[in-house]
Amino acid sequence: MPMSDDFKKRLLPDLADIAAHFGTPFHIYDEAGIFDTGRTLKKAFAPIDGFMEYFAVKALPNPDIMAIMNEMGFGFDCSSIPELVLSRRLGVTGEKIIFTSNNTTDEDFKVAFSDGGCILNLDDISLISRLPSIPDLICFRYNPGPRRTGNDIIGNPVEAKYGVSHDQIVEAYRKMAELGSTRFGLHTMLASNELNYSYIVETTRMLLELIQWIEKELHIKFEFINIGGGMGIPYRPEEAPLDLAQMSKEIIALFAAFRSENGHVPKLFMESGRYMTGPHGVLVTRAINRKDIYRNYIGVDACMSALMRPGMYGAYHHIDVLGKDPANWPTQKVDVVGSLCENIDKFAVQRELPEIEADDILIIQDTGAHGHAMGFNYNAKLRPQELLLRQDGSVERIRREETMADYFATLNFEKKVFCK
């Protein structure tokens, strides 16, 4: 179930006009859908005191989208300096921001500590000695190694570069407690696009067991656990959505059990990106060429600079052709392609679609997370604009398309020369 019926109802009647007004290609995001998902998430975890979603900024780093998250009371999960700056520009600071860097630089630390700070989530025990000062509140990212199996996108934890190993985790908190930290959190991130909710329940169980152990070892108390992101969305029509209601029910039960055993309970944090915005965006592109050789190709005016997932992961994104319902339109098996000189620049491979003519509008779905954000400039391809369909039905341009001037901006500078 890619694009929801509600999103279709809000967008499709005006889509031809929107495309004519702004020009194609563009990603367009559905404000009402994002609010719906946010409200559902909050309601599901309301029984846990201090539940907090920190939107993973990398999924859709646009200030107008982040403002929606802020309005819902969510914080931000950042992993680079520009992401920190984006969040702070919205007036969000301090413990509403988690900084989960890896391969961290001194400059990263400097910015993390400045401008109202953030919750620091350290990726390694060796980083303790590099801290510019000792924060009162500290979190570590845990890597369970062989204790857990990862999923396809994130991979096997043993091979993952992230996090503190099991053997080092107690020592990491011991050191920080000795140095003066008094407040503690524990984080992990093991899954990506996981549709099986049990995996995320097991991650929660693992973290609760771990803090119980560390609390006993070190006589400290944990303020929160952060189960990371990774909640999946169904990209294919035949896939079932993640069972959020059952997932939250089981996690709430784990928290209740923890409370009765330990007399206190941590807060629950998560940092979903894809789940929050993924289904609420589509890439709208126009067919410009068709080509019939060994296969039939539909060339569109977007390319993988707008959406990397199909080329990078072989990911499926559902495609509809505006005004042509495959149920009552002749179909044909085609590859939908961009213009990059890379044969992986395909939005769909051997896909049965309604017969497409030049100027038809294609709706490539579920591009609201890790879509525009992942785009790149290889082959000097420029990234498209982003639009926001507001709840009142108006449409705003929230990022313009890149221009040639943007492309040349990094080439216009005073040459710096080293001479011997």
Ligand X SMILES: *Cc1c(COP(=O)(O)O)cnc(C)c1O
Residue that has been written with the tokens 């889509």 in this structure: 15
Q: Using CB atoms, what's the residue nearest to ligand X?
A: 229
Binding of residue 207 to ligand X (CB under 6 A): no
* Annotated active-site residue in 78, 303, 341, 419: 341
**Residue whose CB is less far from ligand X, 62 or 100:** 100
Judged by CB under 6 A, the residue of 37, 62, 100, 365 near ligand X is 100
Specify the 3-state DSSP secondary structure of 115.
Answer: coil
Could you say which residues in the range 27-86 bind ligand X, by CB under 6 A? 56, 58-59, 77
What is the pattern of x (binds ligand X, CB under 6 A) and - over residues 349-378?
A: --------------------x---------
CB atoms within 10 A of CB 157: 21
Residue 184 is inside which H or E element, if any?
strand 183-187
Binding of residue 248 to ligand X (CB under 6 A): no
Judged by CB under 6 A, the residue of 2, 38, 185, 228 near ligand X is 228
**What are the backbone dihedrals phi and psi of residue 262, each rounded to the nearest 5 degrees, phi first?**
-115, -10
**Residue whose CB is less far from ligand X, 364 or 369:** 369
Could you say which residues in the range 125-184 bind ligand X, by CB under 6 A? none
Nearest CA to 246 out of 173, 196, 174 is that of: 196
Token pair in block for residue 228: 């990371």
Q: Does the annotation count 78 as an active-site position?
A: no
- One-letter amino acid for residue 191 of the chain: A
What is the pattern of x (binds ligand X, CB under 6 A) and - over residues 288-317?
A: ------------------------------
Q: Are 31 and 391 in contact (CB under 8 A)?
A: yes
Could you say which residues in the range 255-284 bind ligand X, by CB under 6 A? 271-275
With contacts defined by CB under 6 A, name the span among 188-196, 198-206, 250-258, 293-301 that binds ligand X.
188-196
| Closest distance of CB 358 from ligand X, Å | 35
Q: Strand pairing of 75-78 and 137-141?
A: unpaired
Distance CA 372, CA 62 (A): 10
Binding of residue 230 to ligand X (CB under 6 A): yes
DSSP 36-86: HHHHHHHHHHTTSTT-EEEEEGGG---HHHHHHHHHTT-EEEE-SHHHHHH
Could you say which residues in the range 374-413 bind ligand X, by CB under 6 A? none
With contacts defined by CB under 6 A, name the span among 37-45, 189-197, 334-342, 354-362 that binds ligand X.
189-197
Distance CA 366, CA 232 (A): 11
- One-letter amino acid for residue 221 of the chain: K
User: Under the rule (CB under 6 A), what is the footprint of ligand X?
Assistant: 56, 58-59, 77, 100, 189, 192-193, 228-231, 271-275, 369
Active site members: 341
